Chains A and B, each alone.
Chain A
């Protein structure tokens, strides 16, 4: 209702103008360039219609594989982060000695830059000199040692594992904030009704935590679909082109001077993000329970 608004609508104009000027307009211009042959070799730019998009879906470069890799990473990495983060948050909201210390330790990887994480883990995961294989061999489990970043069967789990190590703390922190907002009265009432731990989880915690879950899922899916850093620093799309995703392909196209094709891939990513993100937000916000 308009009577609930504290400030008039025109107060939002300065921020809106900045947002439109710095985000929307360049985005639209980028979409426009995706219909051209803009490249580093020729100063002239020509309209080519859907040629770039046709190239994405028909060229021998396997862009379709990159799109599938991106979608799979977005889904799997979120499950791997959100589920453990939820249980860690529940655990660290309970009566645990030193919980602030554990929260800090779990959150610390979030503040590290991707470059630092990539350099460290490329060393840690080296098959001969890396810490992981060294420990496995040292404790009598040499059969578990692997080529974590070059074995086709292990590279994706390794990337998702490193990504989860870096991101779980952030997801957990949002869940902790959500959990702390849930009134204890609901749990007391559930106890009186004889509800067990799992029953309280599904009937009290999860419904009340829907806003935090929405935030984590939406941010997580958005991050997953736009993933670039962790893949670039760990494998650069390798071995070969096995771990290429949409944004590493965009980067490669720009690096090789095919700016039109690069912006077409970015435009495609925008469409995928919109197609997945908008219904997801609508569905999840419907399920939010007003406290």
Chain B
């Protein structure tokens, strides 16, 4: 009897074991702030549909890259991982040809616009998937009501911008909220207007990337840095810019302690939702340093990749295809408050939610100017040293470096990174 019972238990166990062994769990490693509740909801929906679980591994932003790189180098990469992707980091950061699944033949690739496909590709092969914010990248959000009270119009040149700042300063309001301790934000002023430098010196980007020119040869770049230094000296950032926290930008704008802030245009929503007592209206205009008036686009951004050594490649492809469905892309947009538009191909037919302020911004951009790409996406080895540039600019604000020294330091680091990457243009 006991033997029969043991045999029965063994047979049941054998029958049950295979179903346990089949349960697939995909690990997904991402930096904090790159995903939202919408992404988690979609992962749960995928699990419900397919039974494949998604295990999130969220890293502090300062450590994500090194943690991911360590795992990839050890041959123990997560099934899915994210990076801040552009056409260079796809190779330098994750060595996509070695570590990533080739998605070139997947049908969902065409849901991404051409510039986005380029940012997740290497040598003509598509390795990643990215659906991120669409629109003008980091314009200046400004207090429209205050501007109206002071009789100011949207500045389109640096001179007009200075006049507006002087008028706001005279009113006792800090013209522009800036937060240097964040390390990255104040760099936006000179990098977001990159297409203006190309406008002034056609072909300069190709020369920079071919190591036939340096940033010290880019006239507009030095002008932008000098103008930024002037803004600091004239007090347009107020007196606390070296101590301010990024997190307090909305409260400063909502309470009229400051009038302007360089920020994603979708964040105008934050002002109205988090500060309902604020009755001021907010708009956006382009950063007018060096009289830049080209809409700046950022086709790059956080993107996810599949690990080529994962034993669940079929499930990874399933997940990526699931996320590329129109209804799921729409879900991500509809349930991400700070995102008013998502960067996908027009053929997908997504209903974008541009704010009236954003439509007004698009309408104000001269059609002849078109859309340019931000400097850190078009010039190699600039994004890699973003925080270093931030420190150098902060040193310049303190009077410890000159604009020429800041530019030389950037050139020096570009050369160092290029040589380390084995870039043939620097050999």
Interface on A for B, CB 8 Å cutoff?
37, 39-43, 60, 122, 125-128, 147, 149-150, 152, 235-242, 252, 254-258
Chain A residues whose CB sits within 8 angstroms of the CB of B385 once the complex forms: 256
Chain A residues whose CB sits within 8 angstroms of the CB of B62 once the complex forms: 255
Chain B residues whose CB sits within 8 angstroms of the CB of A150 once the complex forms: 242-243
Chain B residues whose CB sits within 8 angstroms of the CB of A127 once the complex forms: 239-240, 243
Q: How many residues of B contact A (CB 8 A)?
A: 37
* A41-B417, A238-B180, A238-B181 known; A126 vs B240 contact (CB < 8 Å): yes
Residue among B181, B400, B401, B412 having the largest count of chain A Cβ atoms under 10 Å: B181
Task: Report the Cα distance A152→B384, complex, angstroms.
Answer: 28
Task: Report the Cα distance A239→B232, complex, angstroms.
Answer: 14
Mark out the residues of chain B between 384 and 425 whose CB falls within 8 Å of any chain A CB in the assembled complex: 384-385, 387-388, 391-392, 394-398, 400-401, 409, 412, 416-417, 420-422
Cβ contacts A to B, 21 pairs, < 8 Å: A40-B69, A40-B92, A41-B417, A122-B243, A127-B243, A128-B243, A149-B181, A149-B242, A150-B242, A237-B391, A238-B181, A238-B183, A238-B394, A240-B391, A240-B397, A242-B398, A256-B387, A256-B417, A257-B384, A258-B416, A258-B420
Chain A residues whose CB sits within 8 angstroms of the CB of B98 once the complex forms: 43
Closest to B257 in A: A128
A149 touches B417 (CB 8 A): no
Count of inter-chain pairs, beta carbons less than 8 A: 86
A51 CB to nearest chain B CB (Å): 12
* A60-B412, A254-B66, A257-B384 known; A239 vs B420 contact (CB < 8 Å): no
B181 touches A236 (CB 8 A): yes
B387 touches A238 (CB 8 A): no
Task: Report the Cα distance A235→B391, complex, angstroms.
Answer: 11
B243 touches A147 (CB 8 A): yes
A238 touches B391 (CB 8 A): yes
A122 touches B245 (CB 8 A): yes
A239 touches B242 (CB 8 A): yes
A80 CB to nearest chain B CB (Å): 23
Task: Report the Cα distance A257→B413, complex, angstroms.
Answer: 12
Chain A residues whose CB sits within 8 angstroms of the CB of B92 once the complex forms: 40-41
A239 touches B387 (CB 8 A): no
* A60-B412, A237-B391 known; A37 vs B420 contact (CB < 8 Å): yes
**B95 contacts chain A at the CB level, 8 A cutoff:** yes
A39 touches B420 (CB 8 A): yes
B412 touches A240 (CB 8 A): no
Chain B residues whose CB sits within 8 angstroms of the CB of A149 once the complex forms: 181, 242-243
